[in-house]
Amino acid sequence: MLFNSVNEHCLNSIVELSETRTVEASEDIYDERGMKLWAKGKPVSAELQEKLLRRKLAKPLEATLAVDGAVAFGDVVGACRARLDENPLFRRIVNRDAISLINSMRNTALPQPLRLLLTSAHAKGSNAFKHAIGTILVSAGIAARLSVSEHEAQHLLMAALLHDLGEMYINPDYLRDSYRLPPAEWKHVASHPRIGQLLIAELTTLPAIVGQCVAQHHERLDGSGYPNQLERSKHHRLGSWLAVADSVAAILSRGDAGAPLRAALALRIVPEEFDHDAVAVITQALRHGDDSFGTPADGGFVAGVKASMGRVITTIRRAESLRATAATPFLRQTAESALLLLYNLDKSLRSTGVVEAATLGADVLDAEVVAEINLVVREVDWRMRNLARNLHLRAEAHDDKNCLQQLSPLIGTLDGTAPS
């Protein structure tokens, strides 16, 4: 079992939690050889941290600890109501039926290991717990508007609550917003959906569909997601809805006036990325006549647009060259799949009128149009970086290690770190 080995980052969070809450062993803790390491009822401390690191346990640590005042689903329901008051943008999505779905979860039992981890995430005061709450709100809004049983809706909301718990097992340095992860380090962050799925499978008796949704919340229907770049046929409907909810919640959480339009743009810029039904109900719910994209950034508009277009064109040429000269089926197939995504990005970029915009310049265009095109350029650039990361993941996992070297120029161009 993965969780019989103590993860230092998760343990650090639990020890940090013990500084403000009572966390103690709910049973005796033994290593894999049967040596008793910690007695039942003994509080967690730095001493336990020293004893457990680099040891394998007879039972996962998360299943042997309990925290006083642990998060329950009743607390989650209360947090959802508070979030609606804090950020009225979510109210556009959360109708009465959505509130009823959330309220129906109030008495749902959460497994003890998950309560421990959720309490740790909540106590740290980071955005992780708040984002989970936002994702529940958007998920409930989707489920309330589409044909889904109450049972399925509950699975979706549970997955929304748990979808990022895998991040607790990742070095927090990789998760800082200020840190620009190069493709070679992306594998650490890209693992969190799979870790979350394993966490649910190994430490709980929750239905497998909950873990499947967690595993798929960063996948995309066009194969551009991670960690597995799943094709459309392998996506579960609820997992695809969670992907929409996760993306929308992240944008709406900023709370500014332009967030609804930015969320709608992110969902529709590449038409094959997200579930069409979920996109339709969310964009309809978010629509408001007084919305605007906000004030465009000063200066550099034409240069920025031309640079983005130029990078897309250069990357397409490199991918086409690789496809034509590839020495192995893997390289040829990788180039082909990259090209399908790049052609879609190029089409999306041109459909917004960026070619005309680059010719006319920001001084001639309406400020709202300039702001929208700036956001389109940013979305396209982000997707190119994401493709770079995914290509690196695929090449690194391949048996032939020369593949990564041969893909490096294309990866560098996508990531914006290679000369054009």
From the list 265, 156, 256, 277, the residue with the least C-alpha distance to 214 is 156
Task: Answer yes or no: are the C-beta atoms of 344 and 222 closer than 8 Å.
Answer: yes
Cis status of the peptide bond prior to 419, with omega within 30 of 0: no
CA distance 150 to 154: 6
Q: End-to-end CA distance of the chain, in Å?
A: 46
167 belongs to a structural domain: yes
pLDDT at 361: 62
371 and 254 within one domain: no
CATH of residue 85's domain is 1.10.3210.10
229 and 160 within one domain: yes
407 and 375 within one domain: yes
335 belongs to a structural domain: yes
* Tokens read off for 410: 């294309």
pLDDT at 179: 76
| Neighbouring C-beta atoms of residue 44, cutoff 10 Å | 24
Among 67, 89, 110, the domain-final residue is: 67
193 and 55 within one domain: no
3-state DSSP assignment of residue 129: helix
295 belongs to a structural domain: no
195 and 341 within one domain: no
* Tokens read off for 335: 């180039």
Host H or E run for residue 244: helix 237-252
97 and 116 within one domain: yes
Task: Answer yes or no: are the C-beta atoms of 217 and 247 closer than 8 Å.
Answer: no
Host H or E run for residue 252: helix 237-252
CA distance 258 to 254: 9
Task: Answer yes or no: are the C-beta atoms of 53 and 8 closer than 8 Å.
Answer: yes
144 and 81 within one domain: yes
16 belongs to a structural domain: yes
DSSP letters for 68-90? TT---HHHHHHHHHHHHHH-GGG
35 and 100 within one domain: no
134 and 26 within one domain: no
Residue in the block written with tokens 């959720």? 118
pLDDT at 304: 78
pLDDT digits (tens), the chain, 420 positions: 678 899 999 999 999 999 999 999 999 999 999 999 999 999 999 888 888 877 899 999 999 999 999 999 999 999 999 999 999 999 999 999 999 999 999 999 999 999 999 999 998 777 899 999 999 999 999 999 998 999 999 999 999 999 999 999 999 999 987 778 889 899 999 999 999 999 999 999 999 999 999 999 999 999 999 999 999 999 999 999 999 999 999 999 988 888 999 999 999 999 899 999 999 999 999 998 677 776 655 556 677 788 888 899 999 999 999 999 998 999 999 999 999 999 999 988 888 777 777 676 656 567 777 778 888 888 999 999 999 999 999 999 898 888 999 999 999 999 988 655
Torsion of CA 107, 111, 117, 119, to 10 degrees: 30
| Neighbouring C-beta atoms of residue 287, cutoff 10 Å | 12
E strand spans, 327-415: none
Task: Answer yes or no: are the C-beta atoms of 208 and 201 closer than 8 Å.
Answer: yes
294 belongs to a structural domain: no
356 and 248 within one domain: no
Per-residue pLDDT tens over the stretch 285-335: 999 867 777 665 555 667 778 888 889 999 999 999 999 999 899 999 999
Q: In degrees rounded to 5, what are phi and psi of residue 296?
A: -65, 155
243 and 120 within one domain: yes
Which amino acid does the sequence have at 4? N
Per-residue pLDDT tens over the stretch 339-393: 999 999 998 888 877 777 767 665 656 777 777 888 888 899 999 999 999 999 9
* Tokens read off for 269: 């810029």
pLDDT at 1: 61
Dmax over Cα atoms in the chain, in whole Å?
A: 75
62 and 91 within one domain: no
3-state DSSP assignment of residue 43: strand
Give residue 7's domain range.
2-67
Helix runs in 186-300, H state only: 186-190, 192-203, 208-216, 237-252, 259-268, 276-286
β pairing state of 36-38 and 29-30: antiparallel
420 belongs to a structural domain: no
Which amino acid does the sequence have at 388? A
pTM for the whole thing? 0.93
* Tokens read off for 150: 């109450």
- Residue 5 pairs in a beta bridge with 56
Among 49, 67, 85, the domain-final residue is: 67
